[in-house]
Structure 1
Amino acid sequence: MDKNHRDVMKRIRDLTAQNIAVEKMFVQSTYLNKQGHSQPMYYMNRDGFTLLVVGFTGKKALNFKLKYIEAFNSMENQIRNYGGFQIPNNMSEALQLAANQAKEMEEMRPKALFAEAVQTSKTDILVGQLAKILKQNGIDIGANRLFNWLRENGYLIKQQGMNFNTPTQKAMDLKLFRIKENTIVHSDGHTTINKTPKVTGIGQVFFVNKFLKDDKPVFG
């Protein structure tokens, strides 16, 4: 903060003299200066540092205060958006609150596991693999139904032919799939190319949001 050591020491002494609770935030000690003389100093915890800086002026002190206000506002917004803290008034309310919280955590657990699995995935996966992960996390769907949903919603081509079940241009533009091509040599010598759609990391996150939001997809 570019403050003179002597001024900082005086500020700390003034703070500790004003309120006994502040004394716990600062511990007086000594250090040896360049001349080898013992000089007073203070150790402080985070609360003590915050209390000390709030009283300072200058550009660096102002930046600290602005960040402190930003953090406080962020906390307030989180409480407002996701619900404040409930304080039970008696044992009955405490037990009911604990039961409600346990139920909410259990309901959220499949979504949390699924989101974590997708977030940590670093490889492309087959559509059937995505269906299995969804099934394990409470989405009632198999590979065939997932393929059908992807076709009906414009992510895979549904017209019969050589491009059947390959990604649509929309899906490719969104980088939801990659196409794996395999060359197959038939007994008569001719070759064909087999195209397999694989869900990218971006695609996995995209479809996670589709399947886990409140208005879940409806399967035919």
Structure 2
Amino acid sequence: MDQLIKILNHEGNMVVSGRDLYDFLGIKTPYTQWMERMISYEFEENVDFAVINKKVNDESVFGSTRTIIDHALSLDMAKEIAMIQRTKKGKQARQYFIQVQKAYQQQVNLPKTPDEKIHLLLENSDQVNRQVKQIDSRVTKLEDDQPIAPGEYSYISTRVKRAVNEFVSVHHLVLNNKQRSKLYQDINRGVAEVTGIKTRTQLRKKDFDVADEFITNWTPSTATLQIIKQLSAVPENQTELV
């Protein structure tokens, strides 16, 4: 940051020379008269400013030194004086003082002791770990919400067909296509219910294991079995459907 106006250290505080500010603002009124008017805006001596007697070289033919009055202004007072001017230079000075204060505050907040530095490192490490966990969680969710691969969908379809055929075979059932379709409807409806989808084509990666486990343990509902019985007479050699 370029130094528009020199910032001084006065008794541990950042201050601005009243005369430096006066020169930067390009004020035409004599300095002492102008500063008296600025101070009248309810600024308090030894709080907002301090009066300083400064020795300068006398540019007269005598070539000696003379004493002039200057003021050490707090940055807050310097900002307000700059704003009071209502000029382009005043606005520029005010913005400069604001930037100086921000930069100073950042320096003040930096860790100084080894303990403070270690504490900051731990805080940053915790923050990074939280961010990584959040990213991992989002990535996992995105992956889980991806549609299952064609090979996985084909596997589920095969498992459904095999489960229906095994049920029919184990229970020695003789079913027509309409009756068999009721079994497919039953198992597909169950897959949809346990995975929270409407149709099997909506299966996501996160649903794969749930669907696979359901198919392994599937048995038709009592309602489905009753409907199948109603669709046709039970064969003579079959005393019950299941």
TM (norm. structure 2) is 0.29
User: Of Structure 1 and Structure 2, which has the larger fraction of its residues in helix?
Assistant: 2
Greater radius of gyration (CA): 2
